[in-house]
Amino acid sequence: MKKTKNPTLRERRGPMQQKRRTVPLGMLRRFLAASIFSIVVTSFFFVHVHVSPSPTHHNFSDKIPSFYDPLSWTRELVPPYLFKTPFSVPKLKDSRKESDYEKLWKPPPNHGFIPCTKPTPNYTTPTRSRGYLSVHTNGGLNQMRSGICDMVAIARIINATLVLPELDKKSFWHDTSNFSDIFDDEWFISSLANDIKIIKKLPKELVKATKIVMQFKSWSGMDYYENEIAGLWDSFNIIRASKSDSRLANNNLPPDIQKLRCRACYEALRFSPRIEKMGKTLVDRMRSFGPYIALHLRYEKDMLAFSGCTHELSKVESQELRFIRENTTYWKRKYINPIEERSKGFCPLTPKEVGIFLTALGYPSKTPIYIAAGEIYGGEFHMADLRSRYPLLMSKEKLVSMEELEPFSSHGSQMAALDYIVSVESDVFVHSYPGNMAKAVEGHRRFLGRGRTISPDRKALVRLFDKLENGSMTEGKTLSNKIIDLHRRRLGFIRKRKGPVSGTKGLDRFRSEETFYANPLPGCLCRTESLSVNASRYR
């Protein structure tokens, strides 16, 4: 008898039972694949939300910068204005309480002061000049700007024809720009025609003529120029000023000379059309986010090397800065104690300290901030703390494309001019150190009656920051109240220009005075009721 093989479990099941087994396995595979995909998508979504500055607008941090790239913090994967969907960053004044607007954004009162640069009735048009004043400017953009305006006034005093000044090409920035690359030369010449004669170049027959090259005495008044300098016309047709910075006194000059300085600075010395156009573009794109702060963050290599300030820097960074200072021949101070400098308030605030400062003043984390500066020393490594508090850190490189910025990017003074425009037009201007640009912007904003200009009390702030570091104080209401109280009178109010510090003598006395271009009152601001109708005309 033939044995029959016992059927297996699979064989005992019918075809319908086998099919039912196959169907659930397929469904299970599809279910597992869908689940894995959902988890990946959900994880990506939460990471995206975490790095975004606000759930209400597009993300500015899609490209996480690496601190190994010193300029990475300035760049974005896609410039903001190229997104197809418009940004919905809330207007801060509209989205916050009116009391917050009053506290954070409202401009200080002008107390009836307005610009008054028109000459007095006794002012006359220029007579035939006695010779030519040739000028070599020195320093960065704003140092050169104030020097040019002083030279306009000096040309008037000594009755000279001014040759368009030569710009400094050998300073730290090594900018090759000429006067017409940065300023509107035609406008400059025509707008000052009733004050002095200006020419673009010396006449050919005088190019090789004998000239006297002089470094005019710093902070000199009328007597020096009317007697010593004007007396040189008897022997020379050309006087060349080898430096232009701080050659004219801040105070005790005739009203018409002071008014001329302001006409030159705030009316005649206009940036070139292409710089003005790009500056307006940057301002418009900042304005799209609502009220904004322009922060002149003076945390650049040249500033830190010159000042000797090394707080929060590594040993390698400190040594690099010391090497630069020791090998820059025209910097006289070589040995600097960074701890003493900082305790005296002589050091620029670090990006981290600026973040603490703005937070204590009450500015919310969504506040748009324009960084008016060159390359920040250490790049993203030193910017990380400030960015963590204020994700909407904007810069030229973020607001416009590389193609738009390319004509300016290799010229430090032209880039500084763009920062100047955005800073003057800002709702709030804050500086981390009162250098030439900070003073120039502060004075221009005072002249125009523009927004708040916050000048940090660095000496007092350092003491508070040190308490935070040693744990004897924490951030919060107490710190905020102290910082707000310290700065109630440091918001750019209209006030009289400060004179010399008591007890100072000689050049130190003049050096301690508040710079004319940081505060043109008295000189170029008048109360509305005191203006004279006759002062609006040239004779």
The model's pTM is 0.80
Is 98-107+273-299+348-526 assigned to CATH 3.30.450?
no
Q: Please report the DSSP string for 321-376 in residue order.
A: HHHHHHT-TT-------HHHHHHTT-SPPPHHHHHHHHHHHT--TT--EEE--SPB
Residue showing tokens 């006067």 = 179
Task: Give the model's pLDDT for residue 23.
Answer: 46
Residue type, 297: L
Q: Is the pLDDT of residue 5 over 80?
A: no
List the structure tokens of 253: 């000059």
Q: Is the pLDDT of residue 71 over 50?
A: no
Give the right CATH number for 131-267 from 3.60.21, 2.60.40, 3.40.50, 3.30.310.
Answer: 3.40.50
Residue showing tokens 């896609």 = 78
Task: Give the model's pLDDT for residue 379.
Answer: 80
**What percent of the chain has pLDDT above 90?**
67
Rounded CA separation 411/174 (Å): 8
66-80 average pLDDT score? 38
Q: What is the mean pLDDT of the chain?
A: 83
List the structure tokens of 359: 């937070």
Q: Is the pLDDT of residue 87 over 80?
A: no
Torsion angle of C-alpha atoms 27, 30, 31, 32, degrees rounded to 10 = 120
Task: Give the model's pLDDT for residue 24.
Answer: 52
Which one has a higher pLDDT value, 412 or 57? 412
Map out the domains of the chain as residue ranges.
98-107+273-299+348-526, 131-267
Strand-pair partners of 131: 160
Q: Is the pLDDT of residue 65 over 50?
A: no
3-state secondary structure of 287: helix
Task: Give the model's pLDDT for residue 367.
Answer: 96
Alpha helices in 449-491 (DSSP H): 458-470, 477-486
Which of the residue ranges 18-22, 370-374, 381-385, 447-451 would you say has the lowest mean pLDDT?
Answer: 18-22
Task: Give the model's pLDDT for residue 240.
Answer: 97
Q: Is the pLDDT of residue 237 over 50?
A: yes
